[in-house]
């Protein structure tokens, strides 16, 4: 038995020691009993340090510890790692296979790391194999062939990185190939107050230069800044705004907070908007962070539910958005009903998804979850909900390019520094 345990320990050590050369796993806590029962030796300390160096937090009971066969198997199961041999020691070869091909578990589809070293990425768009990513810290990044490049920006108002605010939404103009234009949503400060705004920018050489301020003065704050922008099938620009921590603003149709806005690409108000001379397309939103359309042109949005307001928690939402409609916050949540207000298409009940980026593909909605740390699939035909990806920590955004999904991780740390990934996923 001792010989078997030593072999398992050695396999684990050899497995983890070279891990940083291939990838840096998400920081997570391992079970308290993975090391236990008082086996004396420096090897345990070496293993613990090796794990800490690559981003794991390994909890140990007591000064000494002993690896057990059951602890190894539990660890494998939790991290979806393939195994070699009867007793399942994890090997370097098994890790390389996982990183190259993804897990073989059908509930965890194959994925590959496209880029690493991102700093809290928020939004993503794609043009001819180049990925354009915003980092909340204030950078606009391009990724080509796995190389991450941060580009200078010349804006009339500095980006204010504050709480959940910063550089958030981004979308390329439909004619980007010829006009090099894109649209940004970012937080800024004026007269000591926090706001958000939407601007157009143009890529000139390697720099992004502000062209026009489309709308400003959107209430902002430490939380609930919304921030997703997307261009619809009608070639209009749609913008999600949060209620900035002031719930009553969501019901105030004179405020741009807690809304989904719709505008022309030059920042003017479309004549067919539901409220005259207003950007407001729908209202009664708490903190919507996802926008997408199905093949028929129907708009959907993902929205964060309450975190203590009125004694309510959870009840995150996926909403079918109709022009001029009231989505209820802060008067109703979840499946509650009230005259003149819309209830969600899907909602999380007493669980928390913290949904952010939203995408449509092949008859289903896919949402990236932050606290939920999952990609969830919502089938629009049968209304079934399934988890299609987990185990990668907080996920901010999902974007499809053909039949490949690209996902941004969020707030992933390596040795105390941001090290988020962009991955691609096949088989969704």
Query: pLDDT category, 78, cuts 50, 70, 90?
Result: low
Q: What is the pLDDT of residues 340-380, one digit of tens each?
A: 999 999 999 999 999 999 999 999 999 999 988 899 999 99
Q: What is the pLDDT of residues 29-73, one digit of tens each?
A: 444 444 433 333 444 455 555 444 444 444 444 433 444 445 545
CA dihedral 328, 332, 333, 336 (to 10 degrees): -110
Question: Is pLDDT above 70 for 189?
Answer: yes
Instruction: Give 295-301's long-range contacts (Cβ < 8 A, gap of 24+).
Output: 295/360, 297/232, 297/233, 297/234, 299/232, 299/238, 300/345, 300/358, 300/360, 300/365, 301/240, 301/260, 301/358
Tokens of 304: 């964060």
Q: Is the dihedral of CA 171, 175, 176, 180 positive or negative?
A: negative
Q: Which strand (E) or helix (H) includes residue 54?
A: none
Q: What is the pLDDT of residues 103-133, one digit of tens each?
A: 334 445 678 899 999 999 999 999 999 999 9
Query: pLDDT category, 411, cuts 50, 70, 90?
Result: confident
- In the chain the domains, ranked by start, together with CATH numbers, are 2-100 (no CATH), 111-425 (2.120.10.30)
Strand ranges, E, within 13-160? 35-36, 66-67, 111-118, 121-127, 130-135, 139-144, 147-151, 153-154
Phi, psi angle pair for 350, to nearest 5°: -85, 0
DSSP 8-state secondary structure symbol assigned to residue 289: E
Report yes or no: 343 and 284 within 8 Å, Cβ to Cβ: no
């Amino acid at each position: 038995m001792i010989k078997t345990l030593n072999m398992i320990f050695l396999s684990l050590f050899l497995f983890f020691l070279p891990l940083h050369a291939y990838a840096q796993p998400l920081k997570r806590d391992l079970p308290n009993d993975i090391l236990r029962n008082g086996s004396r030796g420096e090897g345990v300390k070496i293993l613990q340090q090796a794990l800490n160096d690559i981003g794991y937090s390994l909890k140990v009971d007591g000064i000494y510890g002993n690896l057990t066969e059951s602890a190894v198997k539990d660890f494998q199961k939790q991290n979806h790692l393939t195994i070699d041999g009867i007793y399942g020691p994890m090997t370097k070869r098994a890790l390389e296979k996982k990183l190259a091909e993804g897990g073989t578990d059908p509930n965890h589809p194959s994925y590959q790391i496209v880029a690493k070293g991102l700093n809290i990425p928020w939004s993503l768009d794609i043009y001819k194999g180049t990925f354009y990513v915003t980092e909340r810290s204030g950078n606009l990044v391009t990724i080509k062939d796995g190389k991450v490049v941060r580009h200078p920006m010349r804006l009339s108002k500095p980006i204010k990185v504050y709480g959940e605010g910063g550089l958030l939404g981004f979308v390329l103009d439909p004619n980007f190939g010829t006009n090099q234009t894109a649209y940004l949503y970012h937080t800024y400060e004026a007269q000591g107050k926090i706001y958000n705004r939407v601007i157009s920018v143009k890529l000139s050489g390697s720099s992004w230069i502000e062209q026009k301020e489309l709308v400003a003065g959107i209430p902002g704050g430490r939380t609930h800044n919304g921030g997703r922008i997307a261009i619809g099938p009608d070639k209009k620009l749609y913008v999600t705004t949060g209620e900035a921590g002031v719930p009553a603003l969501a019901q105030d149709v004179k405020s741009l907070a807690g809304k989904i806005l719709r505008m022309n690409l030059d920042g003017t108000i479309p004549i067919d908007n539901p409220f005259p001379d207003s950007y407001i397309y729908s209202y009664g939103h708490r903190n919507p962070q996802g926008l997408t359309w199905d093949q028929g042109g129907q708009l959907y949005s993902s929205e964060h539910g309450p975190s203590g307001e009125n004694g309510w928690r959870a009840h995150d939402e996926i909403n079918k958005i109709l022009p001029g409609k009231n989505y209820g916050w802060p008067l109703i949540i979840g499946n509650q009903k009230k005259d003149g207000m819309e209830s969600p298409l899907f909602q999380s009940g007493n669980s928390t998804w913290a949904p952010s980026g939203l995408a449509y593909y092949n008859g289903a909605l896919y949402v990236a979850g932050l606290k939920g740390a999952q990609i969830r699939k919502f089938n629009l035909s049968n209304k079934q909900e399934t988890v299609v990806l987990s185990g990668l920590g907080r996920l901010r955004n999902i974007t499809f390019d053909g039949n490949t999904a690209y996902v941004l991780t969020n707030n992933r740390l390596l040795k105390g520094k941001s090290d988020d990934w962009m991955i691609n996923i096949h088989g969704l």
